[in-house]
Chains A and B, each alone.
Chain A
């Protein structure tokens, strides 16, 4: 087979894609540079993708100088780990009962689940419910309201539908309980879809700031990185987007809220950056499957 010619059209495509890559990555690299640059030097402007006066000061401030920010980091990690683990356990367990065609309540339970994809109570009733349940300023407010999502359950169930029934039948012959079958056979065979949904759950947990804002603002122990970032952003926005207005508490030090803001941004981005490329294969399939089903 002869090699295809490299045409002008290919050149235009290549340049276009390079522009896409630059536009996507430049903001992250710029913020990375600012986060490693001396705060007073940054105020002079003109910083691109390399720091001019390298410093660890902004990160040191987060990890050594400030208990609240360190706590926020820990809370972000904790809610992500616990929220993902409980969420994936709940979704796979419910999905398994729904993948069992012989389950006597399959119809009604599926119905109850699917309706929630189309009807939602809305912001205020949900807020009042959380308050009535006593979840305000409680760690459980990060876990319980997000335990299940109909879309995820359906994606997992579709995957489980593809597992050959012979595998579970033989286990049943040997007298295995339904839970044993789920735990010992179904879970190990469903790892690709579990990886996909776990990624979505983890990203959702890690990125959530609004539940902290609405339900856990009063408890400083429950603050998260995203919420701290939101608060700094809010202060900047109050001054009409003028990023130069400093905060007196930092002026004497080697750093300022804007540089810390950039360091927090990097800390909040890096875990995602490390995880998603490796799960790409799975989520592309998961997404296509989900789209076809719905």
Chain B
């Protein structure tokens, strides 16, 4: 098991990462270097940044909107060129004697508040605005030398909104755009949606492990040439298992990673009465789940603690590595309850090396990924995913209407109008069947909500055809008569 390296990056580290320049300089063509070739200049320029940084170096060029600055880090003896927005600079001191103390910036709004003092709402707002510009610089360019980020949205119900069908199309777009890094933006709380009945159980994520494995393999096999990162905005449900199949994992500050108890509840592997059958099912399903973590190089203990409530979880740091124990013997008790499964918040996940870091914005994330500046790929993913979700959900709504129509038309199909309404009932069923064939999500949802599958629709259509033939030949239908139709409902699951 590869152990993940401890990587606690606080905001100070973020700032230093920026100025150290985590990517090789030279991506961008800056203005003429006024200090080119200069050795240890007698004077230096000092920039007081809005985020509290004080940068020493040489101003290369200045415009109304930006300053090109050559920052010199004396600790590591590295020069880095930075493109800084003027609005983020509080004060500029030019040609100051090298090594002199910088003057304090006038009334810096980002000065660290005294311990215990809460920032005023206005300050919070300002801080939040500054936060937006904190991190790597997003640039508008087509320059292939600038690292490019491709966002893949994964949002909604696992198995319907998020499924293989959608991401096959996204894969093709990624292959065409060839980004530097693919960021899978995971935002899925389908378990919570059901726990707090904001939505019905039909919105709960499907526990279709094989389907999700195929979906993950689209990225990890078909797109293995691209660096990939899972950025969890929030994940509560089976989506967390999918998240843990990526080796590089980042989280948003309020994000959660958990809810995997659903894998146990929905598969019911621990509910078998016979001990050996229970053991077999548990081992098989847990190995299946662990297979996802294997891809992300996470410890198997995480799978046990996140899926099975009876396990507690503690962690012990050995140097910069974390060793997990499914009990309370570790140095740090992560989950002391044997009644609930382990769930991580962003901060804990980062401290315990489950995540590689916490990033609020794409700029933060880019910086953590080692990109000082980046460009966003003009991707089709957002549209592909949104369109799919909209299309299948609209198709499902139509299906529901058509199922009602079918019932009504069948009820009216007697006397002189029998042929007319039977024809309309048949057409309604054919439309539903067609939507089920087009969208797996529709097929699943109709199965879940009404307990009907394609076979049922095929049979009902054939029965109506038979009735129509009988009416047209003016002979009563004989024989069995089939299952009739006209009523359905209940769904597959309680």
A binds B: no
